[in-house]
């Protein structure tokens, strides 16, 4: 009797857990289903429904230079340049934190952790004033610098944790052969922590790609606006929204991030290639 009661309780808990997971999955799937179905629907609205006839007119309407191609190019320039700058600076900053002991390491890391918790809206006013003074307002290079600076604290924290997993003995062997610190970083440490570099790259790029507030504040010329800002153009006055075109643009807008993940997914799942590296 007790065993049967216990089995029933386990089954009920498992069913409750499955129901909760299905609910969470539905919360993610339904918005994605709306985007895909609405992009093909000539009469799209806010409801998740089968299209009233499949059409590509929504894609034809948005695939123009002014609406899609120029904003996407601006986004690629901004996010690609800022991601490259972030990864390089994070690797150079994380290396001494990982390899050399100092009483300043812990306070510095705590300062980095504090910097990651600062809301971006709290610092935009002084940043805007600074950019006006140094003539970086309404420039792609200024926005790239701010993007990189805003993502750098967390990127350093991540990069340092991954770098701690690379055995220092490998570098010591390279130092014995005459290699310098920069050579050991670029030829030994970074290749062995490829998944870590991939994680930092994807995280930084995705966070920048979806950022609306920063380019909206720092860029003034419409021709320089990225796709994260130009998507606002689909929301018209008095609540009028071109839902089908908005959904089609969302699919095109998401494509670079998906492609980036697919390209480096093997590195993300490959693990650290350290097996047997310090034997012998």
pLDDT in tens, 47-101: 888 887 888 899 999 999 988 999 999 999 999 999 999 999 999 988 888 887 7
pLDDT tens-digit series, residues 161-179: 888 888 887 777 777 777 7
Tell me what the mean pLDDT of segment 232-244 comes to: 75
In the chain, how many H helices and how many E strands?
Answer: 13, 0
Mean pLDDT of the chain: 84
Instruction: Report d(CA 262, CA 49) in Å as an integer.
Output: 29
Tell me what the mean pLDDT of segment 141-150 comes to: 93
Look at residues 276, 270, 278, 242 and name the one whose alpha carbon lies nearest to residue 59: 242
Confidence (pLDDT) at 201: 92
Q: How many CA atoms lie within 13 A of 219 on its CB side?
A: 29
Take residue 10 and report the two structure tokens written for it.
């386990």
The larger pLDDT score, comparing residue 4 to residue 251, is at 251
Q: Using pLDDT thresholds of 50, 70 and 90, give the confidence band for residue 248.
A: very high
pLDDT above 50 (res 271): no
Q: Please give the C-alpha separations between residue 47 and each of 29, 53, 241, 248, in angstroms, as whole numbers.
A: 14, 15, 13, 16
SS3 118: coil
Residues 6+ apart with CB under 8 A from 196: 158, 159, 161, 162, 163, 165, 272
Confidence (pLDDT) at 99: 81
Confidence (pLDDT) at 133: 93
The larger pLDDT score, comparing residue 207 to residue 268, is at 207
Neighbours of 33 (CB within 10 A): 13
**C-alpha torsion sign, points 179, 183, 187, 192:** positive
Tell me what the mean pLDDT of segment 193-213 comes to: 90
Q: Please give the C-alpha separations between residue 90 and each of 79, 149, 159, 201, in angstroms, as whole numbers.
A: 16, 10, 7, 10
pLDDT tens-digit series, residues 105-144: 778 778 877 777 778 888 888 899 999 999 999 999 999 9
Helices (H), the chain: 2-39, 57-62, 70-99, 105-116, 120-133, 140-163, 168-176, 181-184, 190-192, 194-209, 213-218, 227-230, 243-270
Instruction: Report d(CA 93, CA 160) in Å as an integer.
Output: 8
64 neighbors 75 (Cβ within 8 angstroms): no
pLDDT above 60 (res 203): yes
Instruction: Report d(CA 134, CA 96) in Å as an integer.
Output: 31
The larger pLDDT score, comparing residue 159 to residue 178, is at 159
Q: Using pLDDT thresholds of 50, 70 and 90, give the confidence band for residue 278.
A: very low
Instruction: Report d(CA 44, CA 121) in Å as an integer.
Output: 34
DSSP 146: H
Residues 6+ apart with CB under 8 A from 122: none
Look at residues 261, 162, 247, 269 and name the one whose alpha carbon lies nearest to residue 205: 261
Tell me what the mean pLDDT of segment 232-236 comes to: 78
Confidence (pLDDT) at 172: 74
Confidence (pLDDT) at 214: 92
């Amino acid at each position: 009797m007790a065993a049967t009661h216990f089995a029933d309780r386990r089954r009920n808990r498992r069913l409750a857990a499955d129901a909760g997971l299905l609910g969470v999955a539905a919360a993610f799937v339904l918005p994605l289903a709306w985007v895909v179905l609405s992009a093909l629907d000539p009469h799209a609205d806010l409801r998740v429904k089968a299209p009233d006839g499949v059409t590509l007119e929504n894609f034809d309407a948005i695939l123009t230079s002014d609406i899609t191609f120029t904003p996407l190019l601006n986004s690629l320039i901004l996010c690609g340049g800022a991601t490259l700058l972030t990864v390089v600076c994070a690797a150079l900053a994380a290396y001494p934190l990982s390899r050399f002991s100092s009483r300043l390491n812990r306070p510095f890391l705590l300062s980095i952790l504090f910097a990651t918790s600062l809301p971006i809206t709290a610092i935009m006013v002084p940043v805007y004033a600074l950019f006006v003074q140094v003539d970086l307002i309404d420039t792609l290079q200024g926005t790239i610098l701010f993007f990189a600076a805003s993502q750098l604290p967390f990127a350093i924290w991540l990069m340092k944790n991954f770098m701690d997993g690379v055995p220092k003995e490998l570098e010591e062997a390279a130092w014995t052969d005459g290699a310098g610190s920069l050579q050991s970083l670029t030829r030994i440490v970074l290749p062995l922590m490829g998944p870590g570099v991939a994680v930092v790259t994807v995280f930084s790029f995705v966070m920048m790609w979806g950022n609306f507030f920063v380019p909206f504040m720092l860029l003034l010329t419409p021709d320089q606006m990225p796709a994260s800002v130009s998507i606002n153009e689909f929301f018209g006055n008095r609540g009028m929204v071109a839902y089908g075109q908005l959904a089609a643009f969302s699919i095109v807008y998401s494509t670079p991030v998906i492609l980036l993940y697919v390209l480096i997914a093997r590195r993300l799942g490959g693990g650290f290639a350290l097996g047997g590296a310090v034997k012998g």
